[in-house]
Structure 1
Amino acid sequence: MEPRALAGDERAIEGLPIRLVIALVVGVASLSVMMNTLGGIQTLGVTELDVKPTPEVIDEASTDVTVEVVGPQGDRVANATVVATGGTATLGSVTTARTDTNGTATLALSPSLGPNQDEGTIQFDVKPPAGGQYADERGNTEVLVVAGG
């Protein structure tokens, strides 16, 4: 083989960048899968909470609403703080209550609707008990407020 024959061969120069691009794409894809797996491990034990208000429909009169704080399987959660705020209905102030050992809390609500408003909602947020694996990141069940009575 002539010594100059390798100097004129350009296949190595053409093949090298393509191999680097393929290795980079495979490496980024692998890193993405590993990061998603590690991110999922941290949130594996977190349980999303929701509320079950009773009654679900009220009018503008003062009403006691009983709220159950529940997990995905319907299990009740004690020592959680329930916060009621006006959604499309108006509350005079933010109302809070702590759930008892049965996972229920009672809130005294006095909602009002605006002029020409036939219905509105009251929203609930839950502050999970300290030290638990609970979270309240999604929207919760709301109470419907209707005009009249």
Structure 2
Amino acid sequence: MFERFSDDERAIEGLPVRLVIALVVGIASLSVMMNTIGGLTALGVTELDVKPQPEVVAEGSNEITVTVITPEGEPVANATVVAKDGTATLSQIRPAKTGPDGKATLSLSPSLGPNQAEGTITLDVKPPAGGGYTDDRENTKLLVVSGGAQSS
């Protein structure tokens, strides 16, 4: 039928369709990969946590020292710590900025509801700008107990 390969023109008929299919599959694969990479915003970012001192307080007026730390336990300066209601209640949200030692002092007056023996205060962190830090996970909470007993 065909003497030489160069005389066969049938392969040209299916070539554009194959190219279009390969292009569509390639773009779909690239889109999936980019979404996966986009979801990995924590690459090169360090998650922060807080270490309150004391960890357990009684209802009423308390001075709490909160240290913002990395997973390795290193203190982080210039982070903002925000104390908010958890299962215990605060009269208002309390922010404080950490110093060079990574510590911030908060004056809190938590209260518990009727027949509530204990509750928690949530401590969130706004990381310092440009430091490669994030606070996406839940932090250590401050435990509030009823009565006058207070632990350190």
What TM-score results when the alignment is normalised by the length of structure 2? 0.74
CA RMSD of aligned residues (A): 2.6
Tell me, which stretches of 5 or more residues in structure 1 are unaligned? Answer: 2-15
Return structure 1 stretches of 4+ with deviation > 3 angstroms: 23-31, 40-43
Other-structure match for 1:109: 108
The residue type equivalent to 1:124 in the other structure is: L
Q: Post-superposition shift, 1:26?
A: 8.3
Q: Which residue of 2 aligns with 1:96?
A: 95
* Count of residue pairs the alignment pairs up: 134
> CA-to-partner distance for each residue in 1:32-67, whole Å, 9 max, x for gaps?
245424x26654121111101111111013111110
Residue identity matched to 1:87: G
Residue aligned with 2:123, SS: strand
Match of 1:137 in 2: 136
Identity fraction in percent: 58
Equivalent residue number for residue 146 of structure 2: 147
Q: What's the secondary structure of 2:130's corresponding residue?
A: coil
The yes-or-no answer on 1:32 pairing with 2:32 is: yes
- Taking the aligned partners of 1:97 and 1:31, their CA distance within structure 2 comes to 42
The separation in 1 between residues aligned to 2:104 and 2:73, in whole angstroms, is 16
Q: Are residues 34 and 98 of structure 1, via their aligned partners in 2, closer, same or farther at CA, if it must alter by over 3 Å?
A: closer
TM-score by length of 1: 0.76
Query: Structure 1 residue 111: deviation in Å?
Result: 0.6
